[in-house]
Structure 1
Amino acid sequence: MLKSLVTFAMLGGSAAAACAQDAGPRGITTYGVLDAGVVGERGCTNACTTRVGSGVASASRIGIQGSEAVGQNTSAIFGFETELRLDTGRAANNHETGRTLDHEQRRNPGSDFAREHLEHQAWVGLTGEFGAVTIGRQYNLEYLALADVADPFKGGTAGSATNLIGGPRRTDNSVQYYKTLPNGFSAGASWAARDLDTSPAGRAWGMTVGLTSGPLTVRAAHRNQGAVRAQLNYKTSNDMTSKNSLLAANLRLGWGTAYAAYSMSRGISSSPLFNPDNPYAAGMARTPSNSSRDVLFGMAVPVDRSFTLLASYIRKDDRDLANQDANQAAFGASYAVSRRTDFYAAYSHIRNRNGAGYTVGNASAPGSGNKAFNIGMRHAF
């Protein structure tokens, strides 16, 4: 029950058909996630707060998706999701809410945020026996491997693996191909054009391969993305490309599911800390890792059909001369009261070393301190 709810909340796909509000002759459906909770932070550079947050376990959103047969065994498909903020009742527009830049904006130096992206995804494509080809703003393949396969917290709450591993969650101007192959194999590739300026920001490519065999799921992914131009006095290098490679796995056992991941991150924007040349970055740490090796171990243990315990440990080994390592220990629980509704709680503590500035965020916010707890409710429709 919990697994199906979280999968829907992440990708907005499988449960949408079952929960459709409008299924017309072309197969158009609407779906959404409403998530709100209390977020408390500790260990902030400035004063910490306890506040009501929106999209803590899964970003609150509403979306539509649809398909139409356009040939023999071929369909046109589309999807669009826009973010909502339950704490203010408004769309996630920074000028309206008066808030700082959101999780994606703070951690994705390759995007032009003057355009104020509010959509989680916006894509159109074709699907058939050949696989699926989609074009638009989409989750990148490396993030999907991390959140879908290796992270027991599925990229949300204070326990999110994205606090220490990987870069941005989504990519603009992208083309993706994905196909499920015989015998449990799958493969995909992606390419993204650069932003409309002279910098390499946004130019990206990626690939993924996976295998599901009985209780074991393994997926590997790699992603290259151009970053904004670095200043010559930046502490590490002037490399304009971030490279994130990930090997993710989970194993379903009698007592629950065990999770593991190994990540290699290289380049100026390969870490969760944003690029130091971001003009909105004045209040944040300016020393993101330029090279690291990251290891994750986690578990999800169902106590009964409704109640699940979660835990993970992440070790970030910084290979730069500054040696700014970090460790994250996270614990959580979810109680599903139905197929579409659950309550959750989570606590995470990041131990930064040698001046590292990693913070405990969640599905929609980067966080301000090295400790955080969450208590909230999520409903998918």
Structure 2
Amino acid sequence: MKTILCAGALGALCMNAVAADGASVSVYGLVDVALVRETGGSGGDVTKLTSGVGAGSRLGFKGREELGNGIAAIFLLESGFQADTGALGQGGLLFGRQAYAGLQGGFGTLTAGRQYTPQYLTVVMADPFASGYAGDTKNLMAPTGNSASRMDNSLKYVSPAIGGVSAELVYGAGEVTGDSAAGRQFGGALDYTSGPLRVRLGYHNRNNDTAAIKNAGSAKNTVLAAVYDFGVVKAHVAYGVDKGPNSSLLRNTANPYGRPGTPVASSDSRDVLLGATIPSGPHTWMVSWIHKDDRGALDQDASQYALGYRYALSRRTELYTSIAHIVNRHGASYTVGSAIEGGTGNGAVDVGIRHAF
């Protein structure tokens, strides 16, 4: 066995091991730390040193074993953590980012566990900020109220690409005792790639299981996204439709039905994203505009303007900075966050470093 050993917090780890029978295990990770200034919050401005601004800090284990006849067993375990404090991310879950096992072959890939939803991956593809930094799509358009980015207890199938077209299907059991429909999720995506063009259509449906709206209907999120690489600039565009109870972000505002301070979930909105990525050697500029069109009675629209810059010190290390501002209307109070945090105000600027290994 070929082994590369490293020292770390967990002791001696096998960074890359390949056995004689074709089985392999890799250890990888990312550490992201930044200084962030958030403005416009109800409690005042705040400056903090935090983790996971450009992308969530993580430690992962990825494995593959050849079983013969073109079929392989695969697994992935990915743990998120806070580099500024050492705490576990994703609410303290050991492998809160991803945890799955499955089979891969000419038929495609079938996996079971905690995985990203096809709809969320569609949003990430469209976002010049890749769902991170101050310009993160989750500030306005990712389905935080519905599916978030991952789903537990899920079965996922990804087809092989034929003529540039591939498909994804996912199903997640709600596992609510006495009610098989509550919390149940399903979704899918169609992906088309041809040269510099990539187009992706994603959908997610989740039956609500909270006490207030249990089985009150399903939250549905649909997004159509496209990216075209002109070489000197990459253009990004996306259009999303959010329908049903708890289908979009929570509005941090007074409840119109008489209970001040109670969050209200959007049940009908449209999202539009326009953006660009401009690479030049080690330099990369990112810019985006996102608009949320709230179709509810309060008409709480919002628009986000974001600009970012990355400088590659090497293939694995980069410095970055980004700034974003949200214009809220009619009592909306959307906030500028980052890859793993929601933010406290309608503006933020960050300066950070991240290293992949």
TM-score by length of 2: 0.87
Q: 1:342 aligns with which of 288, 312, 318?
A: 318
- Alignment deviations for residues 54-83 of structure 1 (CA, whole Å, 9 cap, x no partner): 011110010101011123100000000111
Letter in 2 for 1:130: F
Q: 1:64 aligns with which of 56, 61, 73?
A: 61
SS at match of 2:293: strand
Offset of 1:240 from its aligned partner?
A: 3.2
Partner of 1:296: 273
Structure number with greater Rg is 2
Partner of 2:256: none
Partner of 1:122: 99
Runs of 5+ in structure 2 lacking a partner? 1-13, 254-258
Offset of 1:144 from its aligned partner?
A: 0.5
Runs of 5+ in structure 1 lacking a partner? 1-19, 93-101, 106-114, 277-281
Partner of 1:11: none
Report the Cα distance in structure 1 between the residues aligned to 2:211 and 2:298, rounded to whole angstroms: 18
Report the Cα distance in structure 2 between the residues aligned to 1:197 and 1:58, rounded to whole angstroms: 36
Offset of 1:261 from its aligned partner?
A: 0.1
Change (3 A) 1:260 1:45: same
Letter in 2 for 1:357: S
Within the alignment, does 1:144 sit opposite 2:124 as a pair?
no
Partner of 1:23: 17
Count matched residues: 331
Contact kept in structure 1, 2:207 and 2:215, CA below 8 Å: no
Report the Cα distance in structure 2 between the residues aligned to 1:198 and 1:46, rounded to whole angstroms: 43
SS at match of 1:172: strand
Report the Cα distance in structure 1 between the residues aligned to 2:88 and 2:199, rounded to whole angstroms: 37
For structure 1, which segment, 53-62 or 249-258, has the greater mean C-alpha deviation from structure 2 after superposition?
A: 249-258
RMSD of Structure 2 on Structure 1 (CA): 2.3
Residues 147-296 of structure 1 aligned to structure 2 (within 5 Å): 147=124, 149-167=125-143, 168-197=148-177, 200-229=181-210, 231=212, 239-273=216-250, 286-296=263-273
Contact kept in structure 1, 2:252 and 2:334, CA below 8 Å: no
TM-score by length of 1: 0.82
Partner of 2:87: 90
- Structure with the higher fraction of residues in helix conformation: 1
Partner of 1:321: 297
Identical residues among aligned pairs (%): 40
Contact kept in structure 2, 1:315 and 1:328, CA below 8 Å: yes
- Structure with the higher fraction of residues in strand conformation: 2
- Report which structure shows greater RCO (CA 8 Å, sep ≥6): 1
Letter in 2 for 1:210: D
Partner of 2:327: 351
Report the Cα distance in structure 2 between the residues aligned to 1:118 and 1:284, rounded to whole angstroms: 34
